[in-house]
Chains A and B, each alone.
Chain A
């Protein structure tokens, strides 16, 4: 499958844009002009969720992809001019050391530093350096100098640049969930010229990584009949993982969730997606892990409840400065969602 250069370029822009939970503006600014061409109405709500409404008669379907990414926040400035920080969303302490970051809206370069190996005693070498012992070095010589550049409460994001590599893979930061944002955009794009008896809300949510917060208010607002979540999900197909521990495999197609910590996928929806994928020759797999959670937790419990399913793009090394996903998986996720929406519009999903 060939992914058009234009699509890859949009993915690059989305991946490289900083969008920590609570400050998704730059990502939203990229998505908005793209999605305005594809739907009838676009608005931003109080929390910053971007809601793209493709009007139509029929079932109200909410499709969510979150704009935010895991990041860091400056919590304190030391007298030496070094920045202490906390995590925004789930990041493993082990992946932080020596990474480069951009601090604040002006993208001030920073380095997450720590004691060099030469000066560590053998005991220290065997230990993970915890968050409390890490700091961001922005090159400031003093607290005073640092305070001129940075304020407590500003975010820091990873600086990873996006690249294509290997056989149709890409690497970059924040593929969780810019991959999902891409799937949503690509689906709306393919359906642009198609008449659908369906009322579709494409929702680019905020603050998923800190507790699926944007989805909570948008789902209440929209009151959907049916929910879909598009995610970048855990992929553990690398050496050292037993087959039964491999939640997803890269390149094997979009992953359909069965259960996670926040949602038991509606079995009717799961069976419907599998049947739709089979009918259309779209490769697919189950997300074979039961931990983690996504916006579906909120959507299926909004108001009187809405059957909800998740379609995910497997992402290796998720929640770290760099993750890897397959462009084919991304395109197949969009194909699956497109086919599913068409079928729902024709009354093909019995609930």
Chain B
């Protein structure tokens, strides 16, 4: 599974520019599903049918393909690019980073001279793509072009690190579950969504189309296990995290209980998660049409929204087993 994770996290795909990552995911998931289509906003909807025709539940699984990034708004006379943020990206973390555009063009994030470090805001930053002047820069990139962090995957043994673990790790969990799921009594929709980082947008339209009985997002959550970090009862290596609540969703009690029951039955390590700030695609799914009972399986992740998001491989495998265990059984909800 590490090869799959490496491929997904290293692929380019800021919100609104998911073409390359969608292509990669489609290649990976296609052999394990019965059909796949792309909707008007670019969501990839892959379906695995119930083994015995109708009868099971229609379950929508959502993992988002997009990652945070930056978008070019201006190119100056000397060829420097100004930009705005896409999703929850911070100027402090961008400083000194390298970013990459869809065509592979690499840029360095530099900063104007600051009188006070507190003045560090997006409008003080610029991207240097090595152009000598405006004309040369305009040959390489255009206004409205997006870039993501330029970082590779590293295998630290039990722990894996890369940019875009949020939420390629969720996509990887879904693909792996699809692969291992030989038969299911349910109609399982593996939806790889767009534009989660800018407001759960892809999940909203895809959930409207799928119209599921149950919604499950697979996404990262933060941990409380780093030095003097914000307290939170989720730790790396503690198993799959079953969400109770975040700012977008109070997990439906029956969905949450089902997850915990499957984890206990299948002896999968798990932990409950209460996230103070942040949301996932389940926030959009559960409010679709007349409402959809929804929950989230979270992969505990350190340093979220930085170029170095860290997950525990054991947790990732626990999430795969949990997901497979849930969708692979008849569900009475």
Interface residues of A (CB under 8 A from B): 225, 243-245, 258-259, 262, 264-267, 270, 286, 288-291, 300-307, 351
Contacts and interface: CB of A to CB of B under 8 A. Distances in A.
13 contacts: A244-B76, A264-B15, A264-B16, A267-B17, A286-B73, A288-B73, A288-B74, A289-B84, A300-B41, A301-B41, A304-B39, A306-B40, A307-B41
B123 interface: yes
Most chain B CB neighbours (cut-off 10 Å) among A264, A266, A289: A264
Given A244-B73, A258-B144, A301 B204 contact: yes
Contacts of B41: 300-301, 305, 307
B144 A305 contact: no
A264 B40 contact: no
Given A243-B76, A267-B16, A304 B209 contact: yes
A288 B39 contact: no
B86 interface: yes
Contact of A305 (B39, B84, B85, B143): B39
B143 A258 contact: yes
B71 A290 contact: yes
Contacts, number: 72
Interface in B204-235: 204-206, 208-209
Contacts of A306: 40
Most chain A CB inside 10 Å of its own CB: which residue of B202, B204, B206: B204
B198 interface: yes
B17 A305 contact: no
B123 A288 contact: no
Contacts of B84: 259, 289-291
Interface of B: 15-17, 39-41, 43, 71, 73-74, 76, 82, 84-86, 123, 143-144, 195, 198-199, 201-202, 204-206, 208-209
B208 A304 contact: yes
B71 A258 contact: yes
Given A259-B16, A307-B40, 10 more contacts: A243-B74, A244-B73, A267-B17, A288-B73, A290-B84, A301-B201, A301-B205, A304-B40, A305-B41, A306-B40
Given A225-B40, A258-B143, A303 B15 contact: no
Nearest to B72: A258
A301 B287 CA distance: 14
A245 B74 CA distance: 8
B111 to A, nearest CB: 14
A258 B84 CA distance: 11
Contacts of A303: 205, 208-209
A100 B15 CA distance: 45
A289 B144 CA distance: 10
Contacts of A286: 73, 143-144
